[in-house]
Structure 1
Amino acid sequence: MTDQELVQLIQQHGIEVIHFVTNMNTHGEDFPTCLQTALRIHEQKTLSACALSKTGNITVEWSVGIIFDITEVSQLHLVRSTDGGSSGEYGLGEPPTTQSIVASLSNIDGRYNEWRVKGKKKIKGIFVRNVSDIRCWTTTEYFDPVAKRIIPTKDSLSFSLEEIRSYFPDQTLFTFNESKELVPV
């Protein structure tokens, strides 16, 4: 696959490649620091991302992510139609080809796929799935009456669009419209 073929395929399917904040890939940090770290390290590290498209059935439950502008085959490590079980540089998937990319855009249950992206990538902006319901993983504490101590735990907390904008002042915020087209918010 050539870079030109990749770009044509991305345009044809309306693919957006997004590194989301999940409870598993926070780089050991809470939101928004985890995404701010990903913005700083994305050129040195292989990151997990979802490829959302107009033609596929992939959906995600996560709220906020970094949109990568993928224009070179060398920026893709592996693609998979389901969770790639990735850790660090490793994960399951296939090298990027026309067939593997198209196959990764749909799966049996419509859940997320996983693309492993690497190297120098242009950042398109910050994706917000639902501007009226933004939830991200962060550490909270609760008192455990049995253990009689405060316990830290990961929890999904609500954030406003204004908070998201303040965390990423140098980035344009985007969402999908009803036609699954990326639009600024």
Structure 2
Amino acid sequence: MSEAKSSQDEEFREYVAARSAALHRAAYLLTGNWATAEDLVQTTLTKTYLAWGRIRTTDSVDAYARRILYNTNASWWRKRSNREKPTEVFEDRPDLSRDFTEHTAMRDAMWRHIAALPKRQRAVLVLRYYEHRTDPQIADTLGISVGTVKSQASRALAGLRKRLGSPAAALGLAMEPKEAA
């Protein structure tokens, strides 16, 4: 192996060590499933490695990897949309509901609503609210215009508001009636 190739491989290993946790977090927020997120990150890192010689000297390695992550997720979704069908019940999944705190239940309920959004709207919300990206950064990452980012965010939030209604009703929680003073 040449010394230049060895140096490139070491730089890539350092990049993976420094950024893989953030990529896993973003992938999980996009997919809502750790196993799929791990596959998505693995594919992203493979594609990034293949382009490493071209991109490693630029300041945009992270932007390149994130764009691959989001585009690959969209591509997978398009391919799977005709084959996989969601289900409400997972027979092989243990019932862990008694171990959850109220906070966890609320977070999970919110993620169910977010997961029901169209892929692009979900990606915009993840980038904006969980990755703290600006609209121009989101537009660049997803390869869309800033106006599309704003309209997708607006539609996503309107959809969530409509679905959620009152927080208690949306989460299936019974509200205790307030006592009259």
Same fold (TM over 0.5): no
TM-score, normalised with respect to structure 1: 0.32
Q: Which protein, 1 or 2, shows the higher relative CO under an 8 Å CA cutoff with sep ≥ 6?
A: 1
If each structure's strand is expressed as a fraction of its own residues, which one has the higher value?
Answer: 1
TM-score, normalised with respect to structure 2: 0.32
If each structure's helix is expressed as a fraction of its own residues, which one has the higher value?
Answer: 2
